[in-house]
Amino acid sequence: MTYVATRDRVEHYFDRTATKTWERLTSDAPVSGIRATVRAGRDRMRDLILAQLPPDLTGASFLDAGCGTGALAVELAGRGADVVAVDISPELIKIAEKRCPDGLAGRIRFASGDMLDESHGHFDYIVAMDSLIYYEPAMIAQVLGGLRPRLGTSMIFTVPPKTMLLTAMWRTGKLFPHSDRSPTMVPQSARQIGHAMAEASTAGSVREIERVTSGFYISTALEFAP
């Protein structure tokens, strides 16, 4: 699989197969036990990412890369940031636009497309919460290398960690979805991404911030310093 093939699968999944499920998961509507643990874990991850940033973001520019329905972009704009919120799924961008509070609309520019598109501009920070979970380490190195020339301070992103459980599930195909067109999560570590960056001659460094575990949600926040 290449970066583009993976991205196309992700687009198909979020823009068609899973749009309604994702809309509900990211809303206040009631969800079942397993999904409730995922929602709680994702709320904790969003708070963890926000805690890495200065409390006052006035004047700081952000790319929310793979913004989904826009919750993190709204939080950042609420703290004063100017945000470009990009997602490969036009359907999710429509939902994000509808959900954006009127008072913050001037601070967030929503766009559908690839996060790597240079036309999005230059940024002090980039956040990519759970947007890169389907990409292999070499593809993540490609993403970091592609974003680096347009990044000032740091990028915070998340990956599924290489825990024994997730790795065993991945090896035995349990993380593979039923439909061939759906993307597969790729458990990985900061070290693996570091190796892939070295192979691709991508400058900069990656460090682990913290892991969040909540039922079926397991995700590690990483920081890329350009």
Residue 153: CB atoms within 10 Å: 14
Q: Which is nearer to ligand SAM, 59 or 156 (CB)?
A: 156
Asked if residues 208 and 52 have their Cβ atoms less than 8 Å apart, the reply is: no
Min dist. Cβ of residue 131 to ligand SAM (A): 3
Min dist. Cβ of residue 140 to ligand SAM (A): 11
Q: Closest Cα partner for 117 from 200, 1, 7, 5?
A: 7
Q: Which is nearer to ligand SAM, 14 or 224 (CB)?
A: 14
Q: Which two tokens stand for residue 51?
A: 């805690």
Min dist. Cβ of residue 214 to ligand SAM (A): 14
Beta bridge partners of 212: 219
Q: Which is nearer to ligand SAM, 59 or 63 (CB)?
A: 63
All residues at 6 or more sequence positions from 172 whose CB lies less than 8 Å from its CB, including other chains:
none
Compute the C-alpha angle 132/134/137, nearest 5°: 70
Asked if residues 190 and 208 have their Cβ atoms less than 8 Å apart, the reply is: yes
Q: Which is nearer to ligand SAM, 60 or 86 (CB)?
A: 86
Looking only at the bridges linking them, the beta strands covering 217-225 and 151-159 are antiparallel
Min dist. Cβ of residue 213 to ligand SAM (A): 16
51-56: long-range pairs with CB below 8 Å, 24+: 52/156, 52/209, 52/221, 52/223, 53/79, 53/125, 53/156, 55/79, 56/80
Q: Which is nearer to ligand SAM, 57 or 65 (CB)?
A: 65
Start-to-end Cα distance in the chain: 26
Min dist. Cβ of residue 13 to ligand SAM (A): 8
Q: Which is nearer to ligand SAM, 83 or 164 (CB)?
A: 83
Min dist. Cβ of residue 134 to ligand SAM (A): 7
Residue 198 CA to its chain's centroid (Å): 22
Min dist. Cβ of residue 60 to ligand SAM (A): 18
The count of C-alpha atoms lying within 13 angstroms of the C-alpha of 93, restricted to the half-sphere facing its C-beta, is 19
Residues that bind ligand SAM (CB under 6 A): 7, 10, 14, 26, 66-68, 71, 86-89, 92, 114-115, 129-131
Q: Which is nearer to ligand SAM, 114 or 136 (CB)?
A: 114
